[in-house]
Amino acid sequence: MMLTVRGLTKRFGGVTAVADCSFSVAERSITGLIGPNGSGKTTVFNIVTGYVQADAGSVEFAGQLIKRPKPGEMFRRGLVRTFQQARVFPQLTVVDNLVVAAAHPWWALATRRVTRADRERAEHLMTEFGLREVADLPAAQLSYGQRKLLEFAAVLMSRPRMVLLDEPTAGVNPVLRETMARHIRAYHEDGVTFLIVEHDMPFVMQLCDPVIVIDRGTPIAEGPPQVVQQDPAVLDAYLGE
């Protein structure tokens, strides 16, 4: 297994966002994590990547038990993520956004020379993601969809083992949605493991296997997309939304 979480629990005041949540993500899979609004998907991502501290539970990544994940540490271990609202540096150019993403934290760049390998990797990713024409534009000038592509390319700069994508297709047009799917498949072929939170069901169904469904912070179903789709507990969870 590439990632295993056991008994994760997180409360925000009176709200239990994640409740005794356990699941595993197989190495080299494209696993989907779905569930109704507010079911705790993003909070699970935040815990695994160290942006939020769990009240209970454990995270195991690539065979190592990690007591308290921290973003920098998880990055160094090869786990990266994107955000619902793409996080890029608006004042930096596209190429510089990529180059800084090779290091974590990004300010390490201040003390670290940009290597030729980083430049070459950035060039390669810009070609692949259709960003060459905008290489020298500040990211602020990109379209919403281009920013999502840039963020995805940026997390690939460090050659991660596992990528967590938080709603990669939210708000993007159908053409770009297919582009996203193509890039995910290509990197999956290359050996990268994906865990994807996504509300677009056709996208999940064509790309992810298995699919894990969580409701009120707890997994209620897991399996191939066609099976999960017909699971009565899953249908109930979505109807009750």
Ligand X SMILES: Nc1ncnc2c1ncn2[C@@H]1O[C@H](COP(=O)(O)OP(=O)(O)OP(=O)(O)O)[C@@H](O)[C@H]1O
Residues that bind ligand X in the complex, under the rule CB under 6 A: 12, 15, 17, 35, 37-43
Nearer to ligand X, 18 or 139 (CB): 18
Nearer to ligand X, 35 or 99 (CB): 35
Nearer to ligand X, 37 or 111 (CB): 37
Min dist. Cβ of residue 189 to ligand X (A): 28
Nearer to ligand X, 16 or 93 (CB): 16
Min dist. Cβ of residue 38 to ligand X (A): 4
Min dist. Cβ of residue 19 to ligand X (A): 10
Min dist. Cβ of residue 15 to ligand X (A): 5
Helix/strand/coil (H, E, C) string of the chain? Answer: CCEEEEEEEEEECCEEEEEEEEEEECCCCEEEEECCCCCCHHHHHHHHCCCCCCCEEEEEECCEEECCCCHHHHHHHCEEECCCCCCCCCCCEHHHHHHHCCCCCHHHHHCCCCCHHHHHHHHHHHHHCCCHHHCCCEHHHCCHHHHHHHHHHHHHCCCCCEEEEECCCCCCCHHHHHHHHHHHHHHHHCCCEEEEECCCHHHHHHHCECEEEEECCEEEEEECHHHHHCCHHHHHHHHCC
Nearer to ligand X, 40 or 145 (CB): 40
Min dist. Cβ of residue 13 to ligand X (A): 6
